[in-house]
Amino acid sequence: MQYAIAIGRVSSKKQAENNHSLEAQRNSVDKMAKELGVEIIQRWEMAISSKKGKTLNRKDLNEAKLLCRANKNIRYILFDRVNRFGRDAKHLTRYKLDLELDYDVQLIFCDPSQHKLNGTDARAFSKFVEKLSEAEEENEEKGALNKSKNGN
């Protein structure tokens, strides 16, 4: 039997209250697990901001990688969308590649608008990096806007 693990994350109260809620993410990954024919054996769901430079210190990502190392039947880590994975393009690209090359585990993005990011071919990888870079840029723009609002 092949397995999956799932990670859901909200970074703000606004996200938790709209269509990015943990419940909405859970429904999205459950649907994908059913399509893939895998059982989700571990979940992480949290309310935590994803800040550049802090991503690889996230407990969920570190525990997920350890679990993949220990259980060779885990084939997928499911996220609703790339920006729920994080917003640190370089570090998260490395994380993705480590999983694929060292553990034969694929990241799967469950939102239908992001299915084109799934796969191990060059085109899917390129689109993944592009989407991750867009998420990082969006985060930087939000930070600059907040600084200007606060007079910094």
3-state secondary structure 57-83: HCHHHHHHHHHHHHCCCEEEEEECCHH
Q: Which pLDDT value is given to residue 58?
A: 86
Percent of the chain topping pLDDT 90: 62
Rounded to a whole number, what is the distance in angstroms from the first to the last CA of the chain? 54
C-alpha–C-alpha distance, residues 8 and 42, integer Å? 11
Predicted TM-score (pTM) of the model is: 0.87
Checking if the pLDDT of 17 tops 70, the result is: no
Q: Are 117 and 79 in contact (CB under 8 A)?
A: no
Displacement of CA 146 from its chain's centroid (Å): 24
pLDDT-derived band at 20, boundaries 50, 70, 90: confident
Checking if the pLDDT of 68 tops 80, the result is: yes
Amino acid identity of 32?
Answer: M
DSSP label at residue 37:
T
Maximum Cα interatomic distance, the chain, rounded to a whole number of Å: 55
What three-state secondary structure class fits 97? helix
Number of residues assigned to the chain: 152
Pairing of strands 74-79, 3-10: parallel
User: How confident is the model over 23-39, as pLDDT tens digits?
Assistant: 999 999 999 999 999 99
Angle at 100 between CA 60 and CA 138, to 5 degrees: 60
C-alpha–C-alpha distance, residues 11 and 14, integer Å? 8
User: How confident is the model over 72-114, as pLDDT tens digits?
Assistant: 999 999 999 998 888 888 989 999 999 999 999 999 999 999 9
The predicted model gives 127-146 an average pLDDT of: 80
Checking if the pLDDT of 18 tops 70, the result is: no
Count of Cβ atoms closer than 10 Å to residue 120 Cβ: 9
